[in-house]
Amino acid sequence: MATPNVLASSKEIIKVARAFGENQPYGTYVYDSLYNKYSAEQLSGTNPDNGNSVQFSLIPSAFTPEMSGTVVGQRAKLEKLQADNPDLKVPSVLEGITFWHTLRAQGNSLDSGAVFDRTYIRHFDLPEQRIDDWTYVPYSYVDDDGEPYLYSSYVQYDRYGRVAVG
């Protein structure tokens, strides 16, 4: 998949996610308070200084089975995998949204089947953020009825993980 090699602020990321959901029955659900705590570099996961106009990565359409766990556990597991495969990474929020657009452009309506399983990304590589009494990292996905989400995942709960090559 090709993601624009640009830095996108939280406002720009949210705008693109909301545009994706404009024609869906429910729109896009965004937890603005969380996403606004991250920098453009963190949300984009890109490197415009390298001179490339796009960033290529392979995002699997299934969870990475060995990556389930808490955020701390997922980070440790990723570090072990990267020892042998340094090109493995957690897809950025921008890559996740680009993935949604790519799937739709390929003719997938993203409103039936196992859409959640194909699109859910817990961004466990990003720093935890405390809001009220909870600590979160972002996650992004399209649910099975086509509603896109930029929401929050509790860091202490076991959740699925997905890694990409890129």
pLDDT tens digit sequence for 44-53: 998 888 989 9
Count of the separate structural domains present in the chain: 1
Question: 61 pLDDT band (50/70/90 cuts)?
Answer: confident
- For 77-111, write each residue's pLDDT tens digit: 999 999 999 999 999 999 999 999 999 899 887 87
Predicted local distance difference test score (pLDDT) of residue 58: 94
Mean per-residue pLDDT for 137-162?
Answer: 94
Band the pLDDT of 113: cuts 50, 70, 90.
Answer: confident
Q: How far apart are alpha carbons 106 and 102 in whole angstroms?
A: 6
Helix (H) or strand (E) segment spanning residue 73: helix 71-84
- Domain enclosing residue 146, as ranges: 2-165
- Average model confidence (pLDDT) for the chain? 93
pTM here is 0.94
Instruction: Give the model's confidence band at 144: pLDDT under 50 very low, under 70 low, under 90 confident, else very high.
Output: confident
